């Protein structure tokens, strides 16, 4: 058993356990903290897959910006008490069962797929130099369009959040 | 290491996200589960990028650019979605999505 497999199993266990914590914890603040742990584990997976730049961006954007925004909104609404009404129990079971059935169907679909194994040698495809070259030559138009998307999202958020 | 492991992990994270969306009534938790599903897809794209880079393709970085754009869209989505949730809380003093059924009848 090589080191890569051990790290994979460790990070996967952390990711899945904390993802279950997001769904099943009663307190929204602990849900957010569990989701941060999941994202850090996923960033570890990115490093294992030679996507170093994406790992850094993932940590900055998700755990640094998005989750802080979530925490900020939860604190703002004073939701840290358990105020979620207890809903009907059979809905909960239906959710678990349909999610599990989806899991089994997808698992059975890809189990016998014939795909090459990942090699343990490292590639330099995820370095910022190569990614920047690809982003600013082949994908420069989507890059500019995404800036327009950001602008419209900003305008939309301000208009929705305005009082009155 | 077989790439199936990464596919299984992504499927597990995605299905946990689906489970959360179906089970919980808190709008913020539902939103966080959607983020988790997006991240499962991102992980799958990165592992396929590594697979094609191992096979010697020079354009294997495109998958990582795609992940980059998904992160951009997710950030924009969070900004608008949290504004909507704050607005909903301001109007009804609750984030329970069951209250948002005025269009049903």
Residue B103 lies in a domain: no
Q: Which residue of A has its CA nearest to B79?
A: A157
Residue B24 lies in a domain: yes
Residue A41 contacts residue B41 (beta carbons within 8 Å)? no
pLDDT tens-place string over residues A144-155: 999 999 999 999
> Which distant-in-sequence residues (6+ apart) come within 8 Å of B16 by Cβ?
A16, A19, A20, A22, A23, A99, B33, B36
Residue B102 lies in a domain: no
pLDDT tens-place string over residues B37-89: 999 999 999 999 999 888 888 888 889 999 999 999 999 999 999 999 988 88
**How far B100 CA lies from chain A's nearest CA (Å)?**
15
Q: What ipTM, to 2 d.p.?
A: 0.91
Residue B101 lies in a domain: no
> How many CB pairs below 8 Å do chains A and B form together?
228
Query: What is the domain count for chain B?
Result: 1
Q: Does A145 touch chain B (CB under 8 A)?
A: no
Tell me the backbone φ, ψ of residue A4, rounded to 5 degrees.
Answer: -65, -40
Domain of residue B7: give its range: 3-96
Say whether pLDDT at A85 is over 80.
no
Structure tokens at A135: 């982003």
**pTM (2 decimals)?**
0.91
């Amino acid at each position: 058993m090589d080191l890569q497999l051990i790290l994979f199993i460790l990070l996967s266990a952390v990711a899945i356990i904390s993802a279950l914590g997001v769904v099943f914890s009663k307190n929204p603040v602990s849900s957010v903290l569990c989701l941060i742990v999941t994202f850090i584990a996923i960033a570890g997976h990115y490093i294992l897959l030679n996507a170093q730049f994406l790992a850094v961006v993932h940590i900055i954007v998700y755990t640094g910006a998005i989750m802080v925004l979530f925490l900020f909104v939860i604190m703002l609404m004073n939701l840290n008490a358990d105020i979620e009404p207890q809903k009907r129990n059979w809905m909960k079971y239906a959710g678990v069962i349909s999610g599990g059935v989806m899991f089994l169907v997808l698992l059975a679909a890809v189990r016998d797929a014939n795909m090459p194994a990942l090699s343990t040698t490292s590639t330099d495809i995820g370095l910022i130099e190569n990614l920047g070259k690809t982003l600013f030559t082949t994908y420069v138009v989507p890059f500019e369009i995404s800036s327009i998307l950001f602008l419209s999202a900003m305008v939309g958020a301000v208009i929705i959040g305005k009082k009155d | 290491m077989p790439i199936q492991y990464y596919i299984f992990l992504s499927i597990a994270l995605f299905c946990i996200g689906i489970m959360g969306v179906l089970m919980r009534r808190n709008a913020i938790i539902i939103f966080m589960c959607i983020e988790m599903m997006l991240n499962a897809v991102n992980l799958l794209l990165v592992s396929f990028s590594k697979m094609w880079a191992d096979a010697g393709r020079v354009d294997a970085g495109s998958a990582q650019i795609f992940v980059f754009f998904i992160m951009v869209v997710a950030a924009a989505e969070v900004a608008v979605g949290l504004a909507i949730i704050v607005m909903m809380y301001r109007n009804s003093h609750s984030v329970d999505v069951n209250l948002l059924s005025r269009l049903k009848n």
